[in-house]
Structure 1
């Protein structure tokens, strides 16, 4: 039986990749919509919802006030999904991020398979994008812009290499600049940075630097600028404050750079940066062990594709390495470049590094056994009160963990495929046990329920958020509250500094100084008033 599995993994790594993808789909979708929106999710959701409510898709707003932080392309997609589905749930809000996550994994697989002609490397590097620590238990459950944005950016890298090999300079520039226009209209200036540094590094290394002055490059760049300019021209018809828009986009990109922080904080970040991100990418980062072979750098240099992705990584990573407040999700388009290089090193040098390979194999087995032994621990919390079929789920995952551990022990060359399936089991456990536990114990749910109730109470009446200019961060769940209120009312919330308008007023930790104001309900520090 094990020999048949071994032979299958050797002969059909592409089918193994497809099986792991299919196996992972329910793991990532179970309870995807359970938790209330958090982090940047409600900001994206608010902008999309207000586009629908205002019927104006050109001008992003929150609380009917101009929102300048991001251009709206991603919000157009989210608004489209809202309207097609007729649903504004957390699950729907997260779909534009989760679907590109799987498309990203397929893009990695097909790109590596095409350029390296090794489906083992393609399969492992593609699936590692889904099961690295950062993705496994955080980014994969959030409706952030970064997965969609990073997928497009990575696709641009691959297309640049494809047309570089073909020496088709027009399509190289035109398609990559077309993607740059879309990504700029999604996230702003980082797109220009990626495009610029990537082209400069690659063309300089390949001795084609003069192509930057060719008609193909100039024309493609102009088309990119015209697409972006067309959006802002249309935006100008509704709001002439382009200076405020541009300055905000600039500040969003520059505020986390080293110039904004002291030397001490910048130096600390510089030192811990690689270790921090190795931790985020664990256990995929364990493949770094195989990069210590003496021929590793030579192997990179002798392979055009590996040389290219190394150049792209080095050309862009330094920006984030020098930026003290870099967040891991900003690097999602660069992480796969590491997975490809690490996977190549694993399959190329594991037989030449027997001691490291033996240690790696034992470590995979130890981790698998530890996971299997930890799964029954779910029975010792209060999960039975809100996780249906808790015992059967624990038994099923424990058996799966034990079988995978045994498979890792018995297999000779395909252990890593079995280990990756164990990581998907970890995601099943996370989705079944951890997410419901958070739902029951975090305050997010209470704030969401309060916002929905306020929205239902005030339906068909004007609703205002009393704007007394506190710091936004001083209002817990600020954008989230606005989204749920608007979603339950299907009418816009508006900010106001006046207290005389008839309607409902929402305040945080403050009373309305208006004798005509009646306190309708208090939700902790949140208060709902009515002015007649």
Structure 2
């Protein structure tokens, strides 16, 4: 309960990282009524928009000034939902309510999820919620020979595609392959009814890509983004990554993996595994899912969010088998991390935002809005700092049209750019926010107005 409550203070933080991209794309969807396209500055991102579909009706209901809160609530709900899926799966597979609760707590106590990824308004937790929900439903469907759970898994993996990218089907296919390898499940999976249900997994991607304009190129953009992660010209850097990757991920997912490794090395995992087939299946699904990201030359930890619950399940099972002493040790670490989360959320991160990045984004957005009022304002800067500033400007301008990329021959108004020069434009001011420079240009009548120098808060 405390782990879940620790997410409440994070809902009021200023925009972080690239959170502005989701407030912007949701606002633009509402204004353009283009329900199939996710856009920023009016430019299509070639990404599916399920997170925007969830955001728009709620933000419309409670007010668009709360759009960031809405997206974070969706993220937190997805994070807690992954823990619920894990509780359900663990209880079905291992038949122990206490262990299922322990596994769910283990999942919520993964540092990356608890401190950062679990509340940040990106698509990763929602993507992970649908993928792991699909894997859990598939697994329980096989265990109980239940076609309804199998059908639910197909629906959930379709939602995962509509959330982010079709790598969702690779996670799902990996789980399906591992479960099919077990004779106890194989007969069910090759039954006519199961095969019919599994074949319907192709319906959602077919309908989705068929519904898009032929010129959208979304499927190609998805494939290109994946291919980009596989390119690497520096062989030394790649070899370094192969060695550093496991240690880096152990640290990000502290404390459960390190505790499990510690107990294994100390030979304190002394109880025999009573459900060996389930433990091995979880190990193979997680391992095969992680392997491509380990071997790929590029890719951050957020790509592993869909298997966070499986990692937690494996670690929880090892810790559980170490007996009361190991379980109590883990609970002390979980409690300590949750206590730190409250300190982080109530004091440390608010201090960071008021002294370095966060509050100054809002102040800069207000100043730019006041300085450019009455004239068109365009933007061509896609950096995270500008996304957050523009996201706030869009909220300040509501219900006016959000800021868009400048048309080819714009001749009057202002432009926010990351470049220090712009042909045909006059530089109004260089704005420095948290050591990042943004340039404000003008053209036409906008250059004739008096534009006072910005007075931003002094933040270190």
C-alpha change, 1:342 and 1:498, in structure 2 (3 Å) is closer
Tell me how far 1:167 sits from its aligned partner.
Answer: 2.5
Aligned to 2:449: none
Tell me how far 1:187 sits from its aligned partner.
Answer: 1.2
Please state if 1:505 is matched with 2:418: no
Q: Deviations over 1:278-306 (max 9, x none)?
A: 11122212122333587979955853332
How far apart, in 2, do the equivalents of 1:519 and 1:287 lie? 58
Q: Deviations over 1:58-88 (max 9, x none)?
A: 12211111111x2111221122332222134
Matches within 5 A, 1:414-453: 414=328, 416-453=330-367
Tell me how far 1:328 sits from its aligned partner.
Answer: 1.5
SS of structure 2 residue aligned to 1:277: helix
Q: Which of residues 472, 480, 486 is equivalent to 2:388?
A: 480
SS of structure 2 residue aligned to 1:464: strand
Q: Which of residues 316, 324, 337 is equivalent to 1:343?
A: 316
Tell me how far 1:476 sits from its aligned partner.
Answer: 6.0
C-alpha change, 1:303 and 1:513, in structure 2 (3 Å) is closer
C-alpha change, 1:342 and 1:264, in structure 2 (3 Å) is same
Please state if 1:241 is matched with 2:215: yes
C-alpha change, 1:206 and 1:85, in structure 2 (3 Å) is farther
Aligned to 1:378: none
Contact kept in structure 2, 1:35 and 1:435, CA below 8 Å: no
Aligned to 1:267: 239
Tell me how far 1:336 sits from its aligned partner.
Answer: 2.1
Q: Which of residues 481, 488, 492 is equivalent to 2:402?
A: 492
SS of structure 2 residue aligned to 1:505: strand
SS of structure 2 residue aligned to 1:495: coil
Larger radius of gyration: 1
SS of structure 1 residue aligned to 2:415: strand
Moved more, 181-190 or 414-423: 414-423
- Structure 1 regions of 5+ residues with no counterpart? 1-20, 352-356, 361-412
Aligned to 1:310: 283
C-alpha change, 1:265 and 1:462, in structure 2 (3 Å) is same
Tell me how far 1:522 sits from its aligned partner.
Answer: 5.1
Please state if 1:178 is matched with 2:178: no
Aligned to 1:282: 254
Q: Deviations over 1:369-400 (max 9, x none)?
A: xxxxxxxxxxxxxxxxxxxxxxxxxxxxxxxx
How far apart, in 2, do the equivalents of 1:235 and 1:314 lie? 35
Aligned to 1:383: none
Please state if 1:139 is matched with 2:53: no
Q: Deviations over 1:209-244 (max 9, x none)?
A: 6877765455435533332333333331xxx313x3
Tell me how far 1:531 sits from its aligned partner.
Answer: 3.0
Say what the alpha-carbon RMSD is for the aligned residues.
Answer: 3.1
Tell me how far 1:434 sits from its aligned partner.
Answer: 1.0
Aligned to 1:125: 103
C-alpha change, 1:464 and 1:345, in structure 2 (3 Å) is closer
SS of structure 2 residue aligned to 1:248: helix
Aligned to 1:321: 294
Contact kept in structure 2, 1:456 and 1:489, CA below 8 Å: no
Matches within 5 A, 1:331-480: 331-350=304-323, 414=328, 416-458=330-372, 461-465=375-379, 467=380, 475=383, 477-480=385-388
C-alpha change, 1:208 and 1:432, in structure 2 (3 Å) is closer
How far apart, in 1, do the equivalents of 2:262 and 2:329 lie? 16
Q: Deviations over 1:487-515 (max 9, x none)?
A: 2223132212545433333334445554x
SS of structure 2 residue aligned to 1:282: coil
Using the size of structure 2 for normalisation, the TM-score is 0.84
Aligned to 2:179: 202
Contact kept in structure 2, 1:161 and 1:308, CA below 8 Å: no
Tell me how far 1:50 sits from its aligned partner.
Answer: 0.7
Q: How many residues align?
A: 436
Contact kept in structure 2, 1:520 and 1:530, CA below 8 Å: no
Q: Which of residues 40, 43, 67 is equivalent to 1:65?
A: 43
Contact kept in structure 1, 2:103 and 2:313, CA below 8 Å: yes
Aligned to 2:431: 523
SS of structure 2 residue aligned to 1:93: helix
Tell me how far 1:203 sits from its aligned partner.
Answer: 0.5
How far apart, in 2, do the equivalents of 1:146 and 1:178 lie? 18
Using the size of structure 1 for normalisation, the TM-score is 0.73
SS of structure 2 residue aligned to 1:37: coil
Tell me how far 1:205 sits from its aligned partner.
Answer: 3.1
Tell me how far 1:51 sits from its aligned partner.
Answer: 0.3
